[in-house]
């Protein structure tokens, strides 16, 4: 039985890497990104693996876009995995929290916290039917209190709390929910966080592939509620 995944922010970085990993394993994919050209290029590469790829450009903060993503999953026929990977960093260079305009904070929270929850709500019937897994991508900024990272960190801290709550509430539905901290990776977003700095010492997103192989070999109900670090030497779920 062919599995399917919906991955947001899939035109580059971690989302593109995970999409290619799943495509190579024969999964059908629904992917999105805000930039149509980059998304189309990513989709063309993914189709070389032979599976179905629905590439839908748009912004996850828009209700009509989320509905279109779930409609594509419904057309595929099932949804085994939802990865809320799309995020916004906020202004670069990163401002101190006392200087962040409220409109910026609202934008970051809307994209990084509210949109993932709304997409889970929209996709829940399909996830429940498949006994699926929700992966909400987080960051150590959710727990670090790092200078300049207040808006982004707050959005991810809230996402972690929402994820833990959903894991409890959806346990009876057979839907698992985890948060995954991929660690520092050599991506466009990390470069934007450190403008002008050399980030070549950070690993590429491909460094997380062993983690994804481990996670997706587990029963969603065996990992639900966990916060996992993709670059750890080993992965465990607390009893």
Whether 49 is a known active-site residue: answer: no
Q: Where are the beta strands (DSSP E) in 21-126?
A: 28-33, 53-57, 81-84
Number of Cβ within a 10 Å radius of residue 201: 7
Residue 179 token pair: 């948060």
DSSP state of 6: E
Phi, psi values for residue 184, rounded to 5°? -65, 130
Pairing of the two strands 4-7 and 28-33: parallel
Before 135, cis peptide (omega within 30)? Answer: no
Residue (of 155, 159, 158, 110) closest to 134 by Cα position: 159
- 94: region left, alpha or beta (phi > 0 left; psi from -120 to 50 alpha): beta
Is the CB of residue 107 less than 8 Å from the CB of residue 88?
Answer: yes
DSSP state of 203: P
Catalytic residue chosen out of the listed positions 76, 109, 141, 152 = 152
Number of Cβ within a 10 Å radius of residue 70: 22
CA dihedral defined by 111, 82, 43, 191, rounded to 10 degrees? Answer: 40
Distance (Å, whole) CA 105 – CA 100: 7
Active site residues: 152
């Amino acid at each position: 039985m062919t599995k399917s995944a919906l991955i947001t922010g899939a035109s580059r970085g971690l989302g593109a890497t995970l999409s290619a990993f799943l495509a190579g394993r024969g999964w059908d994919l629904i992917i999105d990104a805000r930039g149509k050209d980059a998304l189309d290029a990513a989709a063309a590469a993914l189709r070389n693996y032979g599976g179905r790829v629905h590439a839908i450009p748009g912004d996850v903060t828009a209700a009509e876009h989320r509905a279109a993503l779930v409609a594509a999953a419904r057309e595929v026929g099932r949804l085994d995995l939802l990865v809320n990977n799309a995020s916004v960093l906020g202004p670069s260079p990163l401002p101190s929290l006392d200087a962040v305009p409220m409109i910026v904070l609202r934008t970051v929270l809307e994209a990084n916290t509210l949109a993932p929850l709304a997409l889970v709500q929209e996709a829940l019937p399909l996830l429940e039917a498949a006994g699926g897994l929700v992966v909400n991508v987080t960051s150590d900024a959710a727990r670090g209190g790092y200078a300049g990272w207040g808006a982004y960190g707050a959005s991810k801290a809230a996402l972690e709390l929402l994820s833990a709550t959903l894991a409890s509430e959806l346990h009876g539905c057979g839907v698992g929910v985890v948060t995954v901290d991929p660690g520092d990776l050599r991506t466009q977003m990390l470069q934007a966080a450190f403008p002008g700095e050399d980030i070549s010492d950070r690993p590429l997103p491909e460094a997380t592939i062993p983690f994804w192989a481990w996670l997706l070999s587990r029963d969603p109900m065996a990992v639900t509620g966990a916060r996992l670090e993709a670059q750890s030497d080993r992965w465990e779920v607390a009893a």
